[in-house]
Structure 1
Amino acid sequence: MDNKQMLMIPGPTPVPEKVLLAMAKHPMGHRSGAFSKVIAELTSGLKWLHQTQNDVLMLTVSGTGAMEAGIINFLSPGDRVLVGNNGKFGERWAKLSKAFGLAVEEITAEWGKALNPADFQAKLEADTEKTIKAVILTHSETSTGVLNDLETINRAVKAHGEALMIVDAVTSLGATSVPIDDWGLDVVASGSQKGYMIPPGLGFVAVSAKAWKAYETAKLPRFYLDLKKYKKATDEDSSPFTPPVNLMYGLQASLQMMQAEGLDNIFTRHQRHTEATRAAMKALGLPLFAPDNAASPAITAVAPVTVEAEKIRSTMNKQFDIALAGGQDHLKGKIFRIGHLGFVCDRDILSCVGALESTLIKLGHSGVTPGAGVAAAARILSQ
Structure 2
Amino acid sequence: MLTDQQILRIPGPTPIPPSVNRAMSQPMIGHRGQSTSDMISAIRPKLKRVFGTQQEVMILTGSGTAGLETAVVNTVAPGEEVLVVVTGAFGERFVKICKAYDIKTHVLEVEWGQAADPETVKAFLQKHPEIKVVLSTFCETSTGVLNPVKEMAAAVKEVSEALFIVDGVSCVGGTETKMDEWEIDIVVTGSQKAFMLPAGLSFVAASERAWSKIEANTQPRFYLDLKKHRDNILKDTTPFTPALSILFGLQQVLELLEEEGLEQVYKRHQLMMNMTRAAFKALDIPLLTNDEAASPTVTAVKPADFDSEAFRKIMKKEFGLEVAGGQQHLAKTIFRIGHMGYCSPADMLQAIAAMEIGLIKVGKEIELGKGVQAAQQIYLNEGE
**Cα deviation, residue 293, structure 1:** 0.8
Runs of 5+ consecutive residues of structure 2 not aligned to the other structure: none
**Cα deviation, residue 22, structure 1:** 0.3
d(CA) in 1 for partners of 2:357 and 2:173?
31
d(CA) in 1 for partners of 2:73 and 2:29?
32
Find the counterpart in structure 1 of residue 191 from structure 2: 192
Q: Deviations over 1:155-198 (max 9, x none)?
A: 01222351101110011201111101101111110000011011
Find the counterpart in structure 2 of residue 50 from structure 1: 51
Query: What amino acid is aligned across from residue 199 of structure 1 in structure 2?
Result: P
Matched, 1:125 2:126: yes
**1:204-283 pair list within 5 angstroms:** 204-283=203-282
**Cα deviation, residue 354, structure 1:** 0.3
Q: How many residues align?
A: 380
Find the counterpart in structure 2 of residue 285 from structure 1: 284
* Length-normalised TM-score, structure 2: 0.97
Q: Deviations over 1:136-165 (max 9, x none)?
A: 000100001111111111101222351101
Q: Deviations over 1:23-51 (max 9, x none)?
A: 00001101111110000111111111111
Is 2:215–2:227's contact at 8 Å kept on the other side of the alignment?
no
Matched, 1:135 2:134: yes
Find the counterpart in structure 1 of residue 171 from structure 2: 172
Find the counterpart in structure 1 of residue 100 from structure 2: 99
Matched, 1:108 2:109: yes
Is 2:16–2:196's contact at 8 Å kept on the other side of the alignment?
yes
Q: Deviations over 1:320-345 (max 9, x none)?
A: 01010001111111100000011101
d(CA) in 2 for partners of 1:218 and 1:103?
16
| Structure 1 residue matching 2:281: 3-state secondary structure | helix
d(CA) in 1 for partners of 2:75 and 2:83?
14
Find the counterpart in structure 2 of residue 31 from structure 1: 32
Query: What amino acid is aligned across from residue 267 of structure 1 in structure 2?
Result: Y
| Structure 1 residue matching 2:323: 3-state secondary structure | strand
| Structure 2 residue matching 1:181: 3-state secondary structure | helix
Q: Deviations over 1:61-101 (max 9, x none)?
A: 11110010011011112211111012000111011111112
Query: What amino acid is aligned across from residue 146 of structure 2 in structure 1?
Result: L
d(CA) in 1 for partners of 2:301 and 2:251?
35
d(CA) in 1 for partners of 2:261 and 2:179?
17
**Which consecutive segments of 4 or more residues in structure 1 shift more than 3 A?**
none
Find the counterpart in structure 2 of residue 300 from structure 1: 299
d(CA) in 2 for partners of 1:153 and 1:244?
34
| Structure 1 residue matching 2:204: 3-state secondary structure | strand
Find the counterpart in structure 1 of residue 376 from structure 2: 378
Matched, 1:62 2:63: yes
Q: Deviations over 1:231-273 (max 9, x none)?
A: 0110000110100111100000011000111111011111110
Find the counterpart in structure 1 of residue 161 from structure 2: 162
d(CA) in 1 for partners of 2:100 and 2:4?
44
Find the counterpart in structure 2 of residue 88 from structure 1: 89
d(CA) in 2 for partners of 1:33 and 1:316?
47
Is 1:165–1:187's contact at 8 Å kept on the other side of the alignment?
yes
Q: Aligned-residue CA RMSD in angstroms?
A: 1.1
**1:310-349 pair list within 5 angstroms:** 310-349=309-348
Is 1:5–1:323's contact at 8 Å kept on the other side of the alignment?
yes
Is 2:125–2:160's contact at 8 Å kept on the other side of the alignment?
no
d(CA) in 2 for partners of 1:126 and 1:83?
15
Q: Deviations over 1:292-351 (max 9, x none)?
A: 110011110001122100011000011001010001111111100000011101111001
Is 2:48–2:57's contact at 8 Å kept on the other side of the alignment?
yes
Runs of 5+ consecutive residues of structure 1 not aligned to the other structure: none
Matched, 1:4 2:2: no
d(CA) in 2 for partners of 1:42 and 1:355?
38
| Structure 1 residue matching 2:336: 3-state secondary structure | strand
Query: What amino acid is aligned across from residue 70 of structure 1 in structure 2?
Result: A
d(CA) in 1 for partners of 2:98 and 2:364?
43
Is 2:133–2:162's contact at 8 Å kept on the other side of the alignment?
yes
* Length-normalised TM-score, structure 1: 0.97
d(CA) in 2 for partners of 1:251 and 1:50?
14
d(CA) in 2 for partners of 1:222 and 1:361?
54
| Structure 2 residue matching 1:73: 3-state secondary structure | helix
Is 1:75–1:219's contact at 8 Å kept on the other side of the alignment?
no
Is 2:315–2:322's contact at 8 Å kept on the other side of the alignment?
yes
d(CA) in 2 for partners of 1:272 and 1:121?
32
Find the counterpart in structure 2 of residue 13 from structure 1: 14
